[in-house]
């Protein structure tokens, strides 16, 4: 059975571009954006690594640590980072896992034989401060990730945790949120003194300030 939302993200110890890490110790108390890419010195991956680096401030203010992975060595990663910095006008500082033996890729099921027998697809795991997997996404090798969406779902997860709400389709920070059906109207009146709008008994909107 593969990894599912709600599972504890498996721990591992491995070399990275920032030295060896114990994943659970390294990530303790933080959210994690853990993402794999097929290989170093490849075009789409170069843009993704660059974009993650460019968004360092956005991840930091959300309490999120990015962690990249491919099945290359630390030395290969370090050489490639120079290209990423040059071509994407950035200064990449987050660690990249050197999974040359494919152990972590296997643990997280990042290799899909229909795409490649040896290279990881573009997997995304959003992991919370309790090491719980909160979201997964998988992109094919030829399609780069949508980082606007990655930041949006992190915002949605954190908003849901903070206020006990759900987020509707295409939700953005500042938009109305949904009161879960498990919350009675009486409880909702106490929990959301700012009020709420009832469209259907199961569909009630309110506003929160993250």
Q: Which residues pair with 22 in a beta bridge?
A: 13
DSSP-derived secondary structure letter, 36: E
Nearest to 36 by CA among 126, 118, 134, 120: 120
- Please count the CA atoms within 13 angstroms of the CA of 175 that sit on its side-chain side: 13
End-to-end C-alpha distance for the chain, whole angstroms = 36
SS3 content of the chain, % helix, strand, coil (to 5): 30, 25, 45
Write out the catalytic residue numbers: 45
């Amino acid at each position: 059975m593969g990894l599912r939302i709600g599972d504890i993200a498996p721990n591992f110890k491995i070399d990275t571009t920032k030295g060896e890490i114990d994943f659970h110790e390294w990530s303790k108390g933080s959210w994690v954006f853990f993402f794999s890419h097929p290989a170093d010195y490849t075009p789409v991956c170069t843009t993704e690594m660059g974009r993650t680096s460019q968004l360092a401030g956005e991840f930091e203010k959300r309490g999120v640590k990015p962690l990249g992975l491919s099945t290359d060595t630390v030395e290969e990663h370090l050489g490639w980072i120079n290209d990423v910095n040059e071509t994407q006008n950035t200064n990449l500082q987050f660690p990249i896992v050197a999974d040359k033996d494919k152990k972590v890729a296997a643990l997280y099921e990042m290799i899909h034989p229909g795409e490649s027998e040896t290279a990881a697809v573009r997997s995304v795991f959003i992991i919370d401060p309790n090491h719980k997997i909160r979201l997964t996404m998988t992109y094919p090798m030829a399609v780069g990730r949508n980082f606007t969406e990655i930041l949006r779902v992190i915002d949605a997860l954190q908003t849901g945790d903070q206020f006990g709400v759900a987020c509707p389709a295409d939700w953005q920070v500042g938009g109305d949120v949904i009161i879960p059906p498990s919350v009675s109207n009486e409880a909702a009146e106490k929990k959301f003194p700012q009020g709420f709008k009832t469209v259907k008994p199961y569909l009630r909107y309110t506003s929160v300030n993250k």
